[in-house]
Structure 1
Amino acid sequence: MKQAFLSFERLSTGLAMLGACAMMVVAASLGMYQIITRFVLESPAEWTEVLIRFSLIWMVFLAIPAAFRQGAMVCVDALYRWSRPSVRRMLEWLVFAASVLLMAIVLWWGWDYAQRGGMQTIAGLESLSMFWAYLALPVGAVFSIIGLIGALVDPHRLELETAQ
């Protein structure tokens, strides 16, 4: 059961990271397009600025699960190093509970915000609803919760291992 969940978690975190990388490519490409149209062609494309902003938001919320999975989000390294093994496990549970609570709040309010924003249109892109921009919050939160459970079941402390 544990291995099946960890396989699922690796797949979901990998998909989220692939999505984050794709959003980075979109943002960089649109940024280059914006520079060319504004300064070379002298005919700016205003819609690119909005899409860059939203792709960066999606990138951040899709990359958070990988950071959680590697133990890189909540820095309690000094306390973790100085603690006994029994206290370390309690500390892992405490960090897990606080992080899941935060992601549950982001999920709840992000979904609510996305639904309420569904009636708005994106400035510069009147045919697109704000729902798609705000949906990054609950989607990222779901992937993050899966990554957090994976980090609790199979902890990786990459920050501690590479610290100097």
Structure 2
Amino acid sequence: MKTANMIVDGILKIVMALTSLLLFIVTFLQVVSRFIFKTPLAWSQDVIRLCFVYLVFWGAAYCIKEKAHLNVDVFLTALKPKMRKIVEIIINVVLLLFFVFIIYFGFNFMQTGSTQNAPYLPIPMSIYYLSVPTSAAFMFYFMLQQVFGQIKTFNEVDSNSEGR
């Protein structure tokens, strides 16, 4: 399992690093070309959009892994520790179901893009749309690990929290 985690983590980090770098370089070239040479690079819009889409969606998956995603826990902090763990597990199971939904319909949506091309480059739009189901698959993978970890440690109650 640790090997799989290292591979998935490595893939996410490499894609995010490469898309960030490419996004920076192409955006910089576009600005220089537009304002200094007065000739915009039309193809740059497609590359920038593709990099940004993958950076955002795969970055969201990485946030799930790092447990750095947006969380409003006002309600959870008011609960007793045991009940809080139950509610957190329920929330994460609902998220797992949502990720399955996104994977399924994301692949269906991706197939609709196979007949469309990006505006300036001969890239099928399905490559752009592939970011949705793949990121959801990563999110499902990481959330599943979190749920198993929560279930595994369910009976472990922090001794400091028992007084609540």
For the criterion TM > 0.5, the same-fold answer is yes
Which residue number corresponds to residue 98 of structure 1? 94
Alpha carbons 1:65, 1:144 under 8 Å: kept: yes
Q: 1:54 to 1:12 in 2, by over 3 A?
A: same
Q: Which amino acid aligns with 2:125?
A: M
What fraction of aligned residue pairs are identical, expressed as a percent? 19
**Structure 1 range deviating more: 42-51 or 73-82:** 73-82
Any unmatched runs of 5+ in structure 2?
Answer: 151-164
Which residue number corresponds to residue 38 of structure 1? 34
User: CA-to-partner distance for each residue in 1:70-116, whole Å, 9 max, x for gaps?
Assistant: 32325142233232222122122122122112222221111111111
**Deviation of 1:137 (Å):** 0.7
Q: 2:139 aligns with which of 144, 148, 163?
A: 144
Structure richer in strand, relative to its length: 1
The separation in 2 between residues aligned to 1:119 and 1:65, in whole angstroms, is 28
Alpha carbons 1:71, 1:151 under 8 Å: kept: no
- How many pairs were matched up? 150
User: CA-to-partner distance for each residue in 1:12-48, whole Å, 9 max, x for gaps?
Assistant: 1342133122211111111001011111111110110
**TM-score, structure 2 as length reference:** 0.82
Which residue number corresponds to residue 15 of structure 1? 11
Which residue number corresponds to residue 159 of structure 1? none
Alpha carbons 2:93, 2:147 under 8 Å: kept: no
Q: CA RMSD in A?
A: 1.8
Alpha carbons 1:34, 1:44 under 8 Å: kept: yes
Q: 1:105 to 1:69 in 2, by over 3 A?
A: same
Q: 1:57 to 1:47 in 2, by over 3 A?
A: same
**Who wins on radius of gyration, i.e. which is larger?**
2
The separation in 2 between residues aligned to 1:81 and 1:121, in whole angstroms, is 48
Q: How does 1:108-127 map to 2 (within 5 A)?
A: 108-125=104-121, 127=122
The separation in 1 between residues aligned to 2:73 and 2:55, in whole angstroms, is 26
**TM-score, structure 1 as length reference:** 0.82
Task: Confirm or deny that 1:73 pairs with 2:69.
Answer: yes
The separation in 1 between residues aligned to 2:10 and 2:130, in whole angstroms, is 19
